[in-house]
Amino acid sequence: MGPATFSKIGAIWSFRRELYFVSLAFLATLLLPVIAVILLTHAGIDIVSARLATFNPITKLVEIRNPATGKVIKQIETTVVWPARGVVTLEFGESNWPYQPFHSGIDIANPYGQTGDPVTAFMPGKVTYAGEISWGFGKHVIIDHGNNITSIYAHLDTILVYKSQEITKTPKVIGLEGDTGWATGPHLHFQINVFGIPVNPRTFLGQEDPI
């Protein structure tokens, strides 16, 4: 390299601080769409959840609404059972980096940090899935409760029900709490879907934690 080349490198190096800020600005510009999607998702998931399932404090019933019209199509008694005991460490709609930008259920952590505690169905229904995947939910159970309501019980250590099994009464133990799949410790990921869309489980379970 000749003197001219060294001179150009020196000139560029003298602007290293400016180049640093330009690079940061460029990176921020690239990330803006991602950040916007995350923020909109956070804001939108609660709106969608409230449109599909709401608790009526007068009747003490959960009202299931038509996603297209918003009209109440079914009222459900809230005589439900918390699926596990413990502490809710991640609420519906919160961020859970790096796994997902928003949380589609609630995480109930085992109070003693151990596996094997019972997990129960929160309402009667029919088991539509009882199996395992190597990622995400790990060992999990899905129950159809009718009225377009399904529930998911994930990261189980042991599954104690089978596909097509009828859950006629609660509490009914369907598995044992674990940390399979994408989990950082023993806990239950509990999710309720209405018309296949996640809604806030506290709409059905209430605000008290299951301790």
Sequence ranges of the domains in the chain? 80-205
Ranges assigned E (strand) in 57-210? 61-65, 72-77, 87-90, 106-109, 118-120, 125-132, 139-144, 149-159, 166-167, 173-177, 187-194, 197-199
Is 3.40.640.10 the CATH number for 80-205?
A: no
pTM given for the model: 0.78
Q: What is the pLDDT of residue 44?
A: 54
Tell which residue, 176, 110, 162, has the closest CA to residue 131: 162
pLDDT above 80 for 164: yes
Return mean pLDDT, the chain. Answer: 81
Q: What is the pLDDT of residue 2?
A: 53
Q: Which of 132-136, 143-147, 153-157, 165-169 has the lowest mean pLDDT?
A: 132-136
Asked if 120 contacts 188 with a C-beta cutoff of 8 angstroms, the reply is no
Mean predicted confidence (pLDDT) in 87-91: 90
Q: Rounded to whole angstroms, how far apart are CA atoms 63 and 27?
A: 45
pLDDT above 90 for 21: no
Q: Which of 39-48, 72-81, 86-95, 157-166 has the lowest mean pLDDT?
A: 39-48
Which residues fall within 8 angstroms of residue 136, CB to CB, at 6 or more apart? 154, 181, 182
Mean predicted confidence (pLDDT) in 113-121: 94
What amino acid occupies position 96?
N
Q: What is the pLDDT of residue 34?
A: 42
